[in-house]
Structure 1
Amino acid sequence: MEEEPDSHDAPAMESSHNTPSPSHLPAEDSEITPPVDAPRTTAPLPGSGGDTPPQGASAASGRKRRRRDKQFPEMIPTACLRVLRPTTARPASVVYSEKLVDELIRMQVNEAASRRRGRGRPPSSSLRLARELDVEALIAMAVGFPVDSLTEEEIEANVVPVLGGAAQSNYIVVRNHILARWRSNASVWITEAHAMESIRSEHRALVSAAYAFLLDHGFINFGLAPAIITAPPRRPPSLPAPSVLVVGAGLAGLAAARHLISLGFKVAILEGRRRPGGRVFTKKMESCASSTTPAVVATADLGGSVLTGINGNPLGVLARQLGFPLHKIRDLCPLYLPDGRPVDPAIDARLEAAFNQLLDKVCKFRQAVTDELKSVDVSLGTALEAFRKAYGFADSSEERMLLDWHLANLEYANAAPLSDLSMVYWDQDDPYEMGGDHCFIPGGNARFVRALAENIPIFYGRRVIRIQYGCDGVMVYADGQVFLGDMALCTVPLGVLKKGCIEFVPELPKEKQEAIKRLGFGLLNKVLMLFPHDFWGGGIDTFGHLTEDPSNRGEFFLFYSYSSVSGGPLLVALVAGEAAIKFETSSPIKHVERALEVLKGIFAPKGIEVPEPLQVICTRWGSDRFTYGSYSYVAVGSSGDDYDILAESVGDGRVFFAGEATNRRYPATMHGALLSGFREATNMARATRRRSMMPVGEGRC
């Protein structure tokens, strides 16, 4: 997940054409409307050749990190076919209809269908049913469920009376079927009766268990479709509605608030900024109009901007419900040397392979070492450099620049210099990565934020400084006011917790304090430039730049073109690794001058003039007092366990924690933040039920 600055405190600086010094951003922006797509008249980037990869074209940067092939074990045992009714009149909604489907999933399903079909023989009803089961299992996998086992949450919820055996296998089929059926049309509210329509009556108990689990945990019937948001609260009217104070109106806080309200809770959000969204911040950029020239307008995501994998992604569900189009980020990414020449494709391919070999060697090394040696963690950067020297990779200057570019891209993925990343656990979340395309939302991700925040009670300008909790509830102190509630949900970024900006009374358990210290919270900064016209061409979404200085490899190493989604000629330069840290204390004017120097070095040799930008914004996430950084990473000495520790509640179910840094499977992503909000809303409901069943005076603290 990329991050954003806070306009209220102005860590992001902006400048305009003919303005000698940067000025602060305004506290609030006018309403941002999505752009209207128009035919493009600009030519492709010189050397791109349309859809044909140009010299030095790399597909690697289309993904923030190297993707690994997902393993698809045998899907569903044939005995489980008895769970569903083998009728040819299947409900049409059973077929998963999401447009952006991972190619790997398509291949798996098609190959399975071909194997079953035989030689030109039409499939029988049982074979069609088996094929549906495979599709439904793949959908469940995309959402994060294991193929042939239960999740820890399902085991805790006692969804089956006995673990293992036929009951568990049948439950998995039922769960996958309900999930796939709702995902095929996420704009409707699926009831338990609807789920039961195509399942044999003897499995009614399994349907009830699976439906309740999926509903309570936010896997079905979530989002912003009219049928979803108008559904009545599900809390029994005989029980009093508990009150929850949510600290932070980012994606985690907004998702939790919506889910809690649907469960019948009373909710209020306390937000320190003057706007919702947290690290998701869409800024309207605009030039001044003149008598002869109309204003140039674009929408820019200063923070979280990329939907990293659309299959199973809850943000993809929200986009479909709201009718938001998705723009697939194209894999084509030309790379350019400092003098503007395109990188030789043979060298590019060789160095990309060498880069992947280096990562593979580190991976094999850590698999081979004992647990005792793993406890003495070293940085990923140290390990990569040791293997590079040992095997003689990237000896020439051009090869070294190319390798540094890939290393900078890895630093971008993790928001940290490689010298800070744990060699052992830096990629612990890779097995859970969402499949499918990486996408932009035309008009910016604030469209999600506005929809999620609608009709939610939010108190803006309330910076929380203290959370006090005990047997009777919580007291939250914010800007001279005290708010009382039964429970509190803290969704502030890890950087805020690291700075100790919020006092917890009693103090947090030692284990949680140590996890906060161990986990990393890094930096990614951006220079967003609005130009008079799209001089770089509209045929690509990214292009890269190599540098001769290894210590500054992350400075403007990658450019994103937002012209196709922002409504105007917007170019965004990324600053990662050590360069992002130095970026915080340097002059914004010098950053802009340097970015233009890089662009002119690429385009001037091709006879293309780079105009002066009409408006520029430089982010400073490390200086933002509401974030103190961009997103989390696994630092040296840390592990994925620290995400779980950070997610644990304290005070016997009085204070809960959400946010991307509490999501072990999907850290550093927008969907990870959203899912953590759903998770904690469910945990708060469970804690409330547990307290309500306790005798008066026993264990109520």
Structure 2
Amino acid sequence: MNPFNPISEQAPSNPNTMQNSPQTNSFLQQPNPNPSLVVNLNPNLNSDMDPMSSLSIPRKRKRGRTRRPSSLPLHNQVFPPFSLSNGNVNGNNELVTSSSPSIKTINSENSNSLPATTSDISEEIIVINKEATAEALIALSAGFPADSLTEEEIDAGVVSVIGGIEQVNYILIRNHILSKWRENVSNWLTKEAFVDSIPSHCSTLLNSAYNFLVSHGYINFGVAPAIKDKIPAESTKANVIVIGAGLAGLAAAKQLMAFGFKVVVLEGRKRAGGRVYTKKMEGLNKTAAADLGGSVLTGTLGNPLGILARQLSYPLHKVRDKCPLYRSDGKPVDPDLDYKVETAFNRLLDKASRLRQLMGEVSVDVSLGAALETFRQVFGDAVNAEEMNLFNWHLANLEYANAGLLSKLSLAFWDQDDPYDMGGDHCFLPGGNGRLVQALAENVPIHYEKTVHTIRYGSNGVQVIAGSQVFEGDMALCTVPLGVLKSGSIKFIPELPQRKLDGIKRLGFGLLNKVAMLFPHAFWGTELDTFGHLSDDPSRRGEFFLFYSYATVAGGPLLMALVAGEAAHKFETMPPTDAVTRVLQILKGIYEPQGIDVPEPIQTVCTRWGSDPFSLGSYSNVAVGASGDDYDILAENVGDGRLFFAGEATIRRYPATMHGAFLSGVREAANMAHHANARALHIKVERSPSKDAQSCAVLLADLFREPDLEFGSFSVIFSPNYSDPKSMAILRVTFSGPRKKTSEGSKPDQQHSNKLLFQQLQSHFNQQQQLHVYTLLSRQQALELREVRGGDEMRLSFLSDKLGVKLVGRRGLGSAADSVIASIKSERGNRKSTSTSLALKSGTSKHKPGTSKHPLVRRAKAVASSNSSKAATNSNGPKPAANISDSKTGTNSNGSKPAGNINDCKAVASINISGSKPVENSYDSKAAANSNTNGSKVVANSNDSKAAANSNESKAATNSNGSKPVANINDPKAMASSNDSTSFPS
């Protein structure tokens, strides 16, 4: 071979993961950019609902090749009309208010002409401008429902009342702010920019929306100079250790630094980026930037990485749809035959989707591969070898999309993230995604080649140990890949809750490898971005099945061959010379019959992601037995808000993508800031109750034993303020048992959007278990709902269409419901105490209402810990080492027992007639209490000249008692390590 043709093995970043093709947009989060099609969108589709209760048939589109439209007719898919509460879209695609005479409208453009006395803002909808529909679409692209609140917003308490005009106005303002910033993402957007467009009486809502969007990283984020200038020069808040300098870790570090936190990032590799790795290839005066890991921006509408590229003025190259296929003998596949087999393949996917609906919960234990093979044998159209090879190519492409074997993918949930796919084109970034990594890593304190092996966490803080060095802080963020968590190479003290360990075990972590080749010239041409190759051997169907051409974006003639599925695992042990020889054979078989010589490559690189100790795989997938819930479980923090988790395997909506990793880091930065602020105010956040404390679900069930209103499948409990019709109430809808026929039942010919869904859910839960879903609404709305005629189906329709209220699981009620529940329980306790004493006097006994001495807690994620006072600080400022014991049990400072298992408080799946997020989680987290013990033996290596006790010391020092100091993260020279984290794909 050419002497200038060195073959090197690399363990770069994870393979590129192109999330589904833009041609088959999921209508949930990413709308069609054509406003005229708004009425066909479903911004609130509930993707978290079990597939057996979903009427649409989602599917994960192929990363490597655009998928042709589904064979399923559009009218067979459920897409409720796009709407805004109390508003409609007119023929000009402008938002107009409904004709209800009880609702007033204020046009802020003419607000100066309003009378001095404005009416109650709860009774009027503001009109900011005539672009409300377009702004709603932008909100959709950013991950927001266009006409409702996210769970994050509800938890943050952005409005005082869920539902109603205040919420509508908040949403209009929120969408307007998002749109304004998207017009120029390089500027720092201030609240003052909205003085002329938002009515003055809505200043509270403006503050609420603006503060939420900034604190949660929806606006004013990134790498533009105007935004970087806002990072304070001096850090004034808590110390944070970020483990891993991938996209998740870097995104979190940037945000936390902007919030004023002291941040240090520990990275095991010699570089930042993790599974996003751009390698410079060169030789014979040729150079090229090769993305050996995440390489494709999967959708540009709302993609935060696309925003970073805009801020940096980096153009994007659209991946062209044309992808010709070549047979094993090098001859091109006939386009008609290609279309025939692809159509048959899509039909099998449709049948598999319908099968899981029929199977119900049983489908959780069935693999997608088994279902497809069964249907292929029964319904398959492939009758000859070439058609079978084509079919196997599509199977390989599906394994590439999921980085997993089809035999291990869950039939029930393999495509659970489809409804959230980013809209827009799939793109390459010229020069490689390492340019984004470089921009994010700028001015972030990263310590390289520091492999973290132990993480201690407790009520006083965290200790992260790398080699013989100890880093301590108030909080830590772990962003290592799922493969590293599965390996157990990091020891957590105390052990992670069993709930999280089970989630780590259930989720799949697949593999994709690449062969990057730099040639003297682009002999394959530059008119294509992709082409495919068929294999005669089904077991090798994923071996070099797809080629990416980077000749137009890498700066040189670069070609990349992908290895997926079972072949990707065999590739880990294949000698690099054998791999390159095989690739060249394929290329020569394709091009030499066309009279095109295939030269020897100048340089080649073979990836080994499965063997890389800092990744141990490529990206996550939903394996048999797992579900989308496991992504949420991996994202849960532990240790009373001390240890947090981010990465592509922690984000349910966007797993296995680069933008998912980035967004998870931004998410956790907001969560960490929330917990830090709460601690500063001495507020307990989401702490687990003790064993004898009532869970929220048990408390709700107890209150609903005696509802204030009950009609059909609906029951309502009121807050104590009975005189006010706007006082809050909690509505519960029960799906269980055969429905009773009532005189007000629907007529046979009555049709509405919720009837089929209602019947389906009733039928399912008649065979399964009782289902409760909830919502917050006013007492007046509850009374209006009771008067609706036509049975429960009509009430559901009224609840969704007229009141704009969404049903959620118990967890989905959010913190806004906590005070309502507490006040109802308190009022009933007083009321029942009086009635009980009266009953005893008359010789009748009644159950005495139970009361809990523990505060109401919405979630139970945290590890219970000792309520000890804060550790004293050194005279020069930094905290001394946190003393955290290895003990997994203990008592709290008040003497109570530590929290054990929460009593299986299951928040059942939410049903959303207009599409809210369902929740079905079981609280089995084992929270262990930690008692503080003096004399922690984990100290910095005294032989390490770079480890110093204090940030203002350049040399290692000893404490006054002679003991060695513990490295503090304030010390810029105290370097720790981490397993490479990040997220990967795209």
Out of 256, 261, 271, the residue aligned to residue 260 of structure 1 is: 256
Q: CA deviation at 1:83?
A: 6.1
The CA distance in 2 between the partners of 1:26 and 1:677, in whole Å, is: 23
SS at match of 2:515: strand
1:387 aligns with 2:386: no
RMSD: 2.6
Write the deviation string for residues 234-258 of structure 1: whole angstroms up to 9, x where unpaired: 99x9xx5100000000000000000
Q: Which residue number corresponds to residue 941 of structure 2?
A: none
On the 8 A contact 1:379/1:421 being kept in 2, the answer is yes
Q: Which residue number corresponds to residue 689 of structure 2?
A: none
**Structure 1 stretch displaced more, 652-661 or 351-360:** 351-360
Q: Which residue number corresponds to residue 18 of structure 1?
A: 3
Q: CA deviation at 1:268?
A: 0.2
Change (3 A) 1:26 1:470: closer
Q: CA deviation at 1:270?
A: 0.4
The CA distance in 2 between the partners of 1:158 and 1:211, in whole Å, is: 13
- Structure 2 residue identity aligned to 1:256: A
Q: Which residue number corresponds to residue 301 of structure 1?
A: 291
Out of 341, 345, 351, the residue aligned to residue 355 of structure 1 is: 345
Q: TM-score, normalised by structure 2?
A: 0.59
SS at match of 1:623: coil
- Structure 1 residue identity aligned to 2:520: P
| Long gaps (5+) in structure 2 | 13-60, 88-95, 99-103, 113-125, 684-866, 870-891, 894-929, 931-986
Q: Which residue number corresponds to residue 211 of structure 1?
A: 210
The CA distance in 1 between the partners of 2:556 and 2:466, in whole Å, is: 39
Change (3 A) 1:216 1:379: same
On the 8 A contact 1:84/1:199 being kept in 2, the answer is no
1:85 aligns with 2:108: yes
- Identical aligned pairs, as a percentage? 60
- Structure 1 residue identity aligned to 2:354: K
Q: CA deviation at 1:86?
A: 4.0
On the 8 A contact 2:456/2:492 being kept in 1, the answer is yes
SS at match of 1:557: strand
Change (3 A) 1:26 1:155: closer
Higher RCO (CA-CA < 8 Å; seq separation 6+) = 1
The CA distance in 2 between the partners of 1:429 and 1:374, in whole Å, is: 17
Q: CA deviation at 1:179?
A: 0.5
Write the deviation string for residues 121-173 of structure 1: whole angstroms up to 9, x where unpaired: xxxxx99944x111111111111111222111001001111111111111111
On the 8 A contact 1:65/1:413 being kept in 2, the answer is no
SS at match of 1:535: coil
On the 8 A contact 2:518/2:601 being kept in 1, the answer is yes
- Pairs within 5 Å for 1:322-401: 322-371=312-361, 373-375=362-364, 377-401=365-389
The CA distance in 1 between the partners of 2:63 and 2:587, in whole Å, is: 18
Q: CA deviation at 1:402?
A: 1.1
On the 8 A contact 2:396/2:542 being kept in 1, the answer is yes
The CA distance in 1 between the partners of 2:299 and 2:447, in whole Å, is: 33
- Structure 2 residue identity aligned to 1:258: K
On the 8 A contact 2:251/2:666 being kept in 1, the answer is yes
Q: CA deviation at 1:395?
A: 2.4
SS at match of 1:638: coil
The CA distance in 1 between the partners of 2:111 and 2:601, in whole Å, is: 61
Q: CA deviation at 1:65?
A: 7.0
Q: Which residue number corresponds to residue 119 of structure 1?
A: none
SS at match of 1:484: strand
**Structure 1 stretch displaced more, 448-457 or 335-344:** 335-344
- Structure 1 residue identity aligned to 2:188: W
Out of 583, 591, 595, the residue aligned to residue 571 of structure 2 is: 583
**Structure 1 stretch displaced more, 267-276 or 388-397:** 388-397
1:316 aligns with 2:306: yes
- Pairs within 5 Å for 1:85-104: 85-86=108-109
Q: CA deviation at 1:66?
A: 7.7
Out of 496, 499, 507, the residue aligned to residue 495 of structure 2 is: 507
1:285 aligns with 2:275: no
Write the deviation string for residues 195-224 of structure 1: whole angstroms up to 9, x where unpaired: 343122222111111111100000000001
Q: Which residue number corresponds to residue 679 of structure 1?
A: 667
The CA distance in 1 between the partners of 2:353 and 2:538, in whole Å, is: 24
1:602 aligns with 2:590: yes
Q: Which residue number corresponds to residue 226 of structure 1?
A: 225
The CA distance in 2 between the partners of 1:400 and 1:559, in whole Å, is: 20
1:167 aligns with 2:166: yes
On the 8 A contact 1:137/1:147 being kept in 2, the answer is yes
Q: Which residue number corresponds to residue 922 of structure 2?
A: none
Out of 509, 514, 519, the residue aligned to residue 531 of structure 1 is: 519
Out of 562, 567, 572, the residue aligned to residue 555 of structure 2 is: 567
On the 8 A contact 1:61/1:333 being kept in 2, the answer is no
Q: CA deviation at 1:88?
A: 13
On the 8 A contact 1:643/1:663 being kept in 2, the answer is yes
The CA distance in 2 between the partners of 1:458 and 1:429, in whole Å, is: 32
Q: Which residue number corresponds to residue 614 of structure 1?
A: 602
- Structure 2 residue identity aligned to 1:136: E
Write the deviation string for residues 406-448 of structure 1: whole angstroms up to 9, x where unpaired: 1111111101111111110000000000000000010001100
Q: CA deviation at 1:697?
A: 5.3
Out of 472, 482, 492, the residue aligned to residue 484 of structure 1 is: 472
Q: Which residue number corresponds to residue 74 of structure 1?
A: 82
On the 8 A contact 2:4/2:603 being kept in 1, the answer is no
Q: Which residue number corresponds to residue 969 of structure 2?
A: none
| Long gaps (5+) in structure 1 | 1-15, 28-58, 90-125, 290-294
Change (3 A) 1:426 1:520: same
Structure (1 or 2) with the larger CA radius of gyration: 2
Change (3 A) 1:411 1:60: closer
SS at match of 1:621: coil
Q: Which residue number corresponds to residue 177 of structure 1?
A: 176
1:651 aligns with 2:674: no
On the 8 A contact 1:83/1:170 being kept in 2, the answer is no
Q: Which residue number corresponds to residue 156 of structure 1?
A: 155
1:551 aligns with 2:539: yes
Q: Which residue number corresponds to residue 266 of structure 2?
A: 270
SS at match of 1:573: strand
The CA distance in 1 between the partners of 2:486 and 2:584, in whole Å, is: 35
Q: Which residue number corresponds to residue 405 of structure 1?
A: 393
- Structure 2 residue identity aligned to 1:334: P
- Structure 2 residue identity aligned to 1:568: G
The CA distance in 2 between the partners of 1:682 and 1:247, in whole Å, is: 17
The CA distance in 2 between the partners of 1:72 and 1:234, in whole Å, is: 49
The CA distance in 1 between the partners of 2:503 and 2:233, in whole Å, is: 35
Q: TM-score, normalised by structure 1?
A: 0.83
On the 8 A contact 2:8/2:604 being kept in 1, the answer is no
SS at match of 2:108: coil
- Structure 2 residue identity aligned to 1:302: L
Q: CA deviation at 1:296?
A: 1.0
The CA distance in 2 between the partners of 1:592 and 1:154, in whole Å, is: 52
On the 8 A contact 1:75/1:137 being kept in 2, the answer is no
Return the structure number with greater helix share: 1
The CA distance in 2 between the partners of 1:82 and 1:541, in whole Å, is: 52
Q: Which residue number corresponds to residue 200 of structure 1?
A: 199
On the 8 A contact 1:312/1:435 being kept in 2, the answer is yes
- Structure 2 residue identity aligned to 1:382: A
Change (3 A) 1:65 1:219: farther
Q: CA deviation at 1:18?
A: 2.8
Q: CA deviation at 1:232?
A: 4.6
- Structure 2 residue identity aligned to 1:280: V
The CA distance in 2 between the partners of 1:626 and 1:636, in whole Å, is: 25
Q: CA deviation at 1:524?
A: 0.3
Q: CA deviation at 1:374?
A: 3.2
SS at match of 2:447: strand
On the 8 A contact 2:186/2:224 being kept in 1, the answer is yes
1:446 aligns with 2:464: no
The CA distance in 2 between the partners of 1:384 and 1:147, in whole Å, is: 36
